[in-house]
Structure 1
Amino acid sequence: MRDYQQEKPYVTWFLLALTLAVFVAETISGGSENVNTLITFGAKTNNLVQEGQWFRLITPMFVHIGILHILMNGFTIYYVGQILEPMVGHVRFLIIYLLSGITGNLASFAFGSSNAISAGASTSLFGMFAAFLALSVIYKENQFLSELGKSFLGLIVINLLLDLTMSGIDIWGHLGGAVGGFLIGLALGLPGIKRPQIIFRVLAIVIIAVISYFMYIKGMIVYG
């Protein structure tokens, strides 16, 4: 494996800066816990997605509700991003972050509460966690990646169990983000070293496309 520690996590820094900038704009515009402000800045409500505002499957990963929310997610973006991005590369990292965020929001759209406002980077964060798990599966002979995968699997399980004990948590978004991140991680692998056979990479892409389409259609039927 290349010396990934030499790489700088530029995309992580950009995503964190963008997320913080949006939060400041929310605060100035009426408050990050104000419903109208959250809707204006792109938080997801299922009825608005059903009405054709599909961009709300993307924008919620940059919108946060309250100071504790942004502090927790901002720290996690920084901490996990500076490990994952240098390993997989800038482009792969951005793909994992964005697509797992979208699959998480699609899962929330398909299975979540119709009236809830959903926002936050946690859909993408669970995708990042699951990407480590995917890498540990692909490169199971690598002890470092194997141990890293176990650690992040434990983190996913613990967080999902905590989700079950707390109100107002979008567990479907977290699950969808994790599934998306795992499949994207399988499809991409690591640059410069052995990757999964092409059939497995294509299969992972097909599966995530089919699941995403199913969740979108289900959400449109349920809330249409």
Structure 2
Amino acid sequence: MKMFNRRSNAYVTWILLIITIAVFLLETLMGGSQNINTLMMLGAKTNNSIQIGQWWRLFTPIFLHIGIFHIFMNGFTLLYVGQILEPMVGHWRFLVIYLLSGITGNLASFAFGDSNAISAGASTSLFGMFAAFLALAMIYRENRFLTELGKSFLGLIVINLLMDLTMSGIDIWGHLGGAVGGFLLAYALSLPSIKRPKIYIRILALVLVVAVSYYMYTKGMIVYG
């Protein structure tokens, strides 16, 4: 199995990072990245807003950040992990995993999280990226490179979730939802030009992503409706 790890191939990662930084600068110019009015105007997630029909708030929070430390950590993680994952899975697969796992994370936050909290950040997508490595390691168990990556990122997921439990203001449900989404999407998309896993497993993974997302959306609407 041929693996690619050329940083020059990770242009989607760089585009996502540039957009994220640009949005942060816009936040700053509009009143500050920790200003509630600014965050809400630019699309931060609140459960009540989604419940009244502002569904785009399941997507826009991926590019919003609260404070310089928040964007620095998430931006650095996106750049570092993206330069490994994107050349491996391909540009469009990487973009799908990043964006849709971010949405599944925000759906989990909507269904199970604090109804009064304002949520923003790329961490839902980042957990999806972490979990994608775990899925690839399970699909290609004979590949030592992927196996070691999978173990490393599984450890990273566990450590971060344990830290979530000890820190206030952290959306653990968003992180869990992003990880589930990224894991299933990586199973559905796999690696380019390689016929694994079998097609019925890919279809099942895709159906599960849709079913879980629909369940979380309807649960959020019932709980907060």
Into which bin does the TM-score normalised by the smaller protein fall?
over 0.9
CA–CA separation in structure 2 for the residues paired with 1:39 and 1:209: 27
Counterpart contact for 2:5–2:83, Cα < 8 Å: no
2:9 matches 1:4? no
2:35 matches 1:40? no
Structure 2 gap ranges (5+): none
CA–CA separation in structure 2 for the residues paired with 1:46 and 1:159: 24
CA RMSD of aligned residues (A): 0.8
Question: Deviations 1:106-160 (Å, cap 9, x if unpaired)?
Answer: 0000000111000000000000000000000000010110010000000000000
Residue in structure 1 matched with residue 107 of structure 2 by the alignment: 106
2:68 maps to a residue whose letter is I
Instruction: Please state whether the residue corresponding to 2:218 is helix, strand or coil.
Output: helix
Deviation at 1:5, TM superposition (A): 2.4
CA–CA separation in structure 2 for the residues paired with 1:190 and 1:32: 37
Question: Deviations 1:159-198 (Å, cap 9, x if unpaired)?
Answer: 0000000000000000000000000001111112231001
Residue in structure 2 matched with residue 141 of structure 1 by the alignment: 142
Deviation at 1:8, TM superposition (A): 1.2
Structure 1 stretches of 4+ with a deviation exceeding 6 A read: none
2:37 maps to a residue whose letter is N
Residue in structure 2 matched with residue 120 of structure 1 by the alignment: 121
Query: Counterparts of 1:29-178 in structure 2 under 5 Å?
Result: 29-178=30-179
1:5 maps to a residue whose letter is N
CA–CA separation in structure 2 for the residues paired with 1:140 and 1:188: 17
CA–CA separation in structure 1 for the residues paired with 2:47 and 2:132: 27
CA–CA separation in structure 2 for the residues paired with 1:42 and 1:150: 35
Instruction: Please state whether the residue corresponding to 1:5 is helix, strand or coil.
Output: coil
1:27 maps to a residue whose letter is T
Instruction: Figure out how many residues of one structure are paired with residues of the other and give that number.
Output: 224
CA–CA separation in structure 2 for the residues paired with 1:101 and 1:112: 15
Deviation at 1:3, TM superposition (A): 4.3
Structure 1 gap ranges (5+): none
